[in-house]
Structure 1
Amino acid sequence: MREQWLKRWREGRIGFHLAQTHPALVRHWKALKVPGRAKVLVPLCGKSLDMRWLSEQGHPVLGVELAPEAIEQFIAQHSGEISRYHQAGFHIARQGSVELWQGDFFHLHIRQVDEVEAFYDRASLIALPPATRQRYAFHLAQLVPPGAKGLLVTLQHRDGDAGPPYSVSEKEIDELFTPNFSLEKREEGAADERGFAESVWALERRGPLI
């Protein structure tokens, strides 16, 4: 899966990327009542413009992405001073209040995200095959503190296990997250011309870990 993801970025096969802020983020983020200066974790962030939007709302952002091309393209979209450094196997680039960690999300340690108070997943869970999604949900719960709030955008489509993006059912979302998060569906969209239907969920980390 790792090599397939890197190959997609090298070849520019990134149809999942939106050239604007995701409308669901704009519609639902403020209703979460995340504290104004809370640092937001964005796993598998790609070059998402959602990170710019979160930054514009006053949030420091910590994005994690495997593909170096994604990070360089994100930086190139904006002017601004860039600082670069390394930490525990990650190559880190900071531009304004957005910090991008290039490396494996599953290698991220709680000590590296101790200031994180919120999270946003628009295309992380649905980028992962079924066998990896349980690991992802538990690792996310390990990284964010009790009380941390977040927004999860998923989708369902008629091609079953084909992906990415993968179709994730409401039943699976419940099984993955309810052990460690309170979960509330905020929106269920109609299927588009491709047969993709998005759902939007509000999460809040409970504690202790289960």
Structure 2
Amino acid sequence: MQVSEENEWLSRWREGRIGFHRDAVHPALARFWPTLGAPSGAKVLVPLCGKSLDMRWLAEQGHPVLGIELATDAIEQFLAEGDGEVSRYRAGDFDICRQGSVELWGGDFFHFHIKQAAEIGAFYDRAALIALPEATRQRYAFHLAQLLPPGARGLLISLTRGGDVNAGPPYSVPAEEVRVLFEPNFELTHLADGEPEANGFRESVWALKRRGPMA
């Protein structure tokens, strides 16, 4: 992230401006994740994870979860709202907390390297792509592809809205941009569009599979 993006993100958590956080598991995750074909027990990468309850749902399905989050406030709230002891350690640029089968890596997603992602076999993005301005989204899509092995599967939930598409976060990322960003490295399947919301946003749900020769 750029420094200005980091500061805005940290300010939102510090000031409690987290209207993007959902107090329940996202219905699209529960509906579509079982259809992806992600291997049982695959570790799931969740970039810019916040304190999403979706991580606990994935863990309940038998998936170890590795969430990456810049805001310490988000990580501490997730841990405080959960059950079980917390272990803490450090690896490279990241402060890591583990609670149950969820690991939270505190730091910049773009500093997370492929050697640290050796066990990753799937991913879930509900609020990462749409949190980033247009200039950063291409970098995000490329970095995500670098971290995933061929055949890795994931679920992406994007947003579109009318009006000022440059306002955000969350930002409007239309289907055309999703394809431009991800099709070079992923097979994309458009799964569904949500109903328009009162704020003008409309969600779209995508299944992704990392391209490349299987080992």
TM-score when normalising by structure 1: 0.98
The root-mean-square deviation of aligned C-alpha atoms, in Å, is 0.7
Greater mean alpha carbon deviation, residues 138-147 or residues 183-192: 183-192
Match of 1:183 among 178, 181, 188: 188
Q: Does 2:155 match 1:155?
A: no
> Which residue identity is paired with 1:76?
A
Taking the aligned partners of 1:77 and 1:36, their CA distance within structure 2 comes to 26
Taking the aligned partners of 1:59 and 1:189, their CA distance within structure 2 comes to 26
Taking the aligned partners of 2:99 and 2:128, their CA distance within structure 1 comes to 22
Q: Does 2:200 match 1:195?
A: yes
SS of aligned partner of 2:17 = coil
Alignment correspondent of 2:53 = 49
Greater mean alpha carbon deviation, residues 199-208 or residues 12-21: 199-208
Deviation per CA, 1:12-46, whole angstroms, max 9, x where unpaired? 00000000100000010000011110000000000
Alignment correspondent of 1:62 = 66
Taking the aligned partners of 1:20 and 1:190, their CA distance within structure 2 comes to 18
Q: Does 2:211 match 1:206?
A: yes
Offset, 1:4? 0.7
Q: Which runs of 5+ in 2 are unaligned?
A: none
Q: How does 1:1-210 map to 2 (within 5 A)?
A: 1-158=5-162, 159-207=164-212
Structure 1: which 4+ aligned runs deviate by more than 2 Å? none
Greater mean alpha carbon deviation, residues 106-115 or residues 153-162: 153-162
Offset, 1:192? 1.1
- Identity among equivalent positions (%) equals 66
Count of aligned pairs? 208
> Which residue identity is paired with 1:168?
V
TM-score when normalising by structure 2: 0.96
Taking the aligned partners of 2:186 and 2:166, their CA distance within structure 1 comes to 25
Offset, 1:190? 2.1
Q: Which runs of 5+ in 1 are unaligned?
A: none
SS of aligned partner of 1:5 = helix
